């Protein structure tokens, strides 16, 4: 753990977790992560913004000791999830006069997740402020990024936005600030795809408020701090927009090679029509890479063999996950090979409850791909190209 100064009397006390490889028993972490907490020392009061994952609580304590903090007056809790609030009970035990500052909904969730004294809270509302003497904290209630209780904290005098999970990256780095913009933008896109994408309409509303603030620094709860906030703000403006790219994503599984042959055929046919194609073998693909590709794609084609009477279970999982992430894909189809029957297409169509794309006629073949199925794939490539042209994604 490294104690780092962002601005005078404003410190990062982030816990770096280089080794962690899975979050929520779901999200792959190829680059680890960090749990960022911050200390702000005003002339009259001291505040801790968020805490760290319980697995790193001793690191937080060591930083607070090194800051020679005899007291913390306030702990601001922006979000009740354990990776940020999990060390709150320990902080309240260490600093008996410390008061939790949060919103009503967050307090409710904290009391449900932790054993806390409900009298040690100050409840704030949207745009309320808290004075630390020469520094002022302003609170911006921002529900659904990504829990309903989330809020952001703005340090007015230093123009720092503590954005909680919003604008975060699961990226452990010893650098306090972003150094490699390309790498961090990619990590931020992965994070957005896996965690924030289902909430893009909420984020749009919050962005309206943020545009009115003067922001010099964005200090999120995961990953490095942005000292050039335009990098992440402009990336989010693009990701949350309605615009899609001339791209087709094909998550697939093949058991004996027939579905793979169809994927290869369709990939070639789409490339010939000037379309970018991203096929993913879901038996070996990191789901974070698939999620990232779904941020921009206009079309998804799910490719699966039939197992018994339905889609391959791995494809059921992927379809469920993709639908849950609620990407802005406009068109979808299904291709694959079956042995003797089944309801593969109907089952997959019924699973697309959130994204509700326009469904293009599937191409399913019994056994080996043949001339008829190839004609079907040519027709599907034509359909996709026509839809992309009509959407202005391919020049006419
Ligand atoms: Fe990083 Fe929603 O916790």
CATH number, position 259: 3.40.50.360
Q: What is the pLDDT of residues 101-148, one digit of tens each?
A: 999 999 999 999 999 999 999 999 999 999 999 999 999 999 999 999
For 288-350, the DSSP string reads HHHHHHHTTEEEEEEE--EETTEE-HHHHHHHHHHHHH-----EEEEEEEESS---HHHHHHH
Question: How many domains does the chain fold into?
Answer: 2
Helix H or strand E segment including 375: helix 371-390
| C-alpha–C-alpha distance, residues 282 and 290, integer Å | 9
Residue 395 lies in a domain: no
Tell me, yes or no, whether 267 and 341 share the same domain.
yes
Which protein residue's CA is at the shortest distance from atom 1 of ligand 1? 165
Q: Is the CB of 53 under 6 A from ligand 1?
A: no
Tell me, yes or no, whether 228 and 283 share the same domain.
no
Separation of CA 7 and ligand 1 centre (Å): 24
Tell me, yes or no, whether 342 and 382 share the same domain.
yes
Tell me, yes or no, whether 311 and 279 share the same domain.
yes
Q: Where a domain ends, among 239, 259, 282?
A: 239
Which protein residue's CA is at the shortest distance from atom 2 of ligand 1? 81
Tell me, yes or no, whether 171 and 265 share the same domain.
no
Q: Structure tokens of 82? A: 């354990």
Tell me, yes or no, whether 211 and 327 share the same domain.
no
Q: Where a domain ends, among 207, 239, 271?
A: 239
Tell me, yes or no, whether 272 and 219 share the same domain.
no
DSSP 228: S
| C-alpha–C-alpha distance, residues 185 and 81, integer Å | 24
Tell me, yes or no, whether 231 and 363 share the same domain.
no
Separation of CA 290 and ligand 1 centre (Å): 21
User: Counting atoms of ligand 1 from 1, which one is nearest the CA of 35?
Assistant: 1
Q: Is the CB of 36 under 6 A from ligand 1?
A: no
Q: Where a domain ends, among 178, 210, 239?
A: 239
- Neighbour count for residue 213 (Cβ, 10 Å): 14
| C-alpha–C-alpha distance, residues 321 and 354, integer Å | 11
Helix H or strand E segment including 205: helix 200-211
Tell me, yes or no, whether 231 and 293 share the same domain.
no
Q: Name the residue with higher pLDDT: 396 or 176.
A: 176
Separation of CA 165 and ligand 1 centre (Å): 5
The dihedral through the CA atoms of 94, 99, 104, 106 has a sign that is: negative
Q: What is the pLDDT of residues 162-196, one digit of tens each?
A: 999 999 999 999 999 999 999 999 999 999 999 99
Tell me, yes or no, whether 213 and 362 share the same domain.
no
User: Counting atoms of ligand 1 from 1, which one is nearest the CA of 146?
Assistant: 2
What integer pLDDT is reported at residue 1 of this predicted model?
61
Domain that residue 138 falls in: 4-239
Tell me, yes or no, whether 205 and 294 share the same domain.
no
Q: What is the pLDDT of residues 47-99, one digit of tens each?
A: 999 999 999 999 999 999 889 888 899 999 999 999 999 999 999 999 999 99
Residue 323 lies in a domain: yes
Q: Is the CB of 135 under 6 A from ligand 1?
A: no
Question: What is the average per-residue pLDDT within 331-336?
Answer: 98
């Amino acid at each position: 753990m490294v104690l780092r100064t962002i601005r005078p009397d404003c410190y990062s006390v982030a816990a770096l977790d280089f080794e962690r490889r899975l979050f929520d028993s779901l999200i792959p972490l190829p680059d680890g992560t960090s749990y960022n907490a911050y200390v702000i020392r005003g002339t009259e009061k001291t505040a801790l913004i968020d805490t760290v994952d319980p697995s790193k609580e001793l690191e937080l304590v060591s930083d607070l000791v090194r800051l020679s903090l005899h007291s913390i007056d306030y702990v601001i809790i922006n979000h009740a999830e354990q990776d940020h609030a999990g060390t709150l009970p320990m902080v309240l035990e260490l600093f008996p006069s410390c008061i939790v500052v949060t919103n009503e909904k967050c307090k409710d969730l904290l009391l449900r997740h932790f054993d806390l004294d409900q009298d040690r809270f100050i409840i704030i509302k949207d745009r309320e402020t808290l004075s630390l003497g020469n520094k002022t904290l302003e609170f911006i209630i921002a529900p659904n990024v990504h829990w309903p209780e989330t809020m952001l904290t703005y340090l007015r005098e230093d123009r720092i936005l503590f954005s909680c999970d919003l604008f975060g990256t699961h990226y452990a780095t010893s650098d306090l600030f972003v150094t490699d913009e390309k790498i961090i933008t990619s990590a931020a896109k992965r994070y957005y795809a896996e965690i924030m994408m289902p909430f893009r309409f909420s984020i749009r509303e919050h962005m309206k408020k943020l545009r009115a603030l003067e922001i010099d620094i964005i200090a999120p709860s995961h990953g490095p701090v942005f000292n050039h906030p335009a990098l992440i703000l402009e990336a989010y403006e693009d990701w949350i927009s309605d615009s899609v790219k001339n791209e087709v994503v094909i998550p697939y599984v093949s058991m004996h090679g027939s579905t793979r042959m169809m994927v290869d055929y369709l990939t070639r046919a789409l490339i010939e029509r000037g379309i970018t194609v991203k096929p993913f073998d879901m038996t070996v693909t990191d789901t974070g890479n698939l999620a990232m590709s779904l941020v921009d794609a206009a079309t998804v084609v799910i490719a699966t063999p039939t197992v018994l009477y339905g889609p391959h279970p791995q494809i059921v999982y992927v379809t469920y996950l993709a639908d849950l992430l609620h990407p802005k894909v406009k068109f979808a189809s299904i291709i694959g090979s079956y042995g003797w029957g089944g309801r593969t297409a109907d089952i997959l169509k019924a699973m697309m409850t959130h994204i509700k794309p326009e469904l293009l006629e599937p191409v399913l073949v019994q056994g080996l791909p043949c001339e008829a199925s190839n004609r079907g794939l040519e027709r599907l490539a034509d359909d996709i190209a026509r839809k992309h042209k009509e959407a202005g994604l391919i020049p006419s």
